[in-house]
Homo-oligomer: A and B are copies of this chain.
Amino acid sequence: MIVDVSKKIMIVGLGLLGGSYARALKRFDFQISTIEKDQSSIDYALKEGIIDKGSTELDADIIGQADIVIFALYPHVFVEWIETNQKLLKSGALITDVTGVKRSIVYKIQGMLREDVEFVAAHPMAGREVSGVENSTDKMFVGANYIVTPTDKNTPEAVKTCMELGRLLGFSNVTTLSPEEHDDMIGFLSQLTHCIAITLMTCNDRENMEKFTGDSFRDLTRIARINDLMWSELFMENKDALLRQMNLFADKFNELKVMLEKDDVDGMRKMMRHSTERRALFDKK
């Protein structure tokens, strides 16, 4: 194991994801502390034994001792935290994050960070339709992807450590992408899918449809239950890439509509066969 269990880990923001990180890492008996604005979340985590200590304040003692710091905050809150409080971090600390967009975060943080602290960005591709540390579970990491997005400011050792952290958390696939590749990919696989789900959920307000629905509509709208504050921020932070993906989708959807209008059955069937073939790639292995 690259990451020594004597390393002290601090999690800033103990919600669903931060709490699940604590739960997964505590299996290895790491010392885990937290800075979290809500005292009841800290109390819950202490009671569950998934952290050792926590504070709602900027406890200099807690922050100054942490070897690895995981930020599980909204993008702009993370940036503000670093701006204001990086002076409290331990010299030599490695910091990482869980943010769903990368370009707008990584370069900003790395550009302002102290020379003796290193930031390796990561995106754990896992979530649930509920929030809060009370719903935390390490099960959601099983079968899921953990993407590290190194830049030329990062050292190979720190990147290795961050990838090892992903494996310790229980992620099935740990890979790297550039921040640019990440944002393009995520614009398609995650952000576009949320755009589609909320559009489908709101484009027809006819009553009583829930009485007649099958599983396909439920599947396509599972993620239509969405945290508006977080997702609007993620969309804005990846605006150009997301708009590109939205245009690809809208153009293709229009092609299908035109084929239907023109009774082009062969064209529709060809598209369906392409779809069927391509979907096979995405089955869980």
Contacts and interface: CB of A to CB of B under 8 A. Distances in A.
A220 interface: yes
Contacts of A228: 268-270, 272-273, 276
B254 A204 contact: no
* Copy count, this protein chain: 2
A276 B225 contact: yes
A49 to B, nearest CB: 29
Nearest to A229: B269
Contacts of A2: none
A256 B198 contact: yes
9 contacts: A189-B216, A193-B220, A197-B216, A197-B275, A203-B251, A225-B276, A232-B269, A250-B253, A253-B253
Nearest to A173: B211
Q: How large is the interface on A (under 10, 10 to 19, 20 to 34, 35 or more residues)?
A: 35 or more
Interface in A46-98: none
A236 interface: yes
A63 to B, nearest CB: 31
A196 interface: yes
Given A229-B269, A256-B198, A189 B203 contact: no
A157 B236 CA distance: 59
A212 B126 CA distance: 11
A280 B185 contact: no
A107 interface: no
Interface in A194-218: 194-206, 209-218
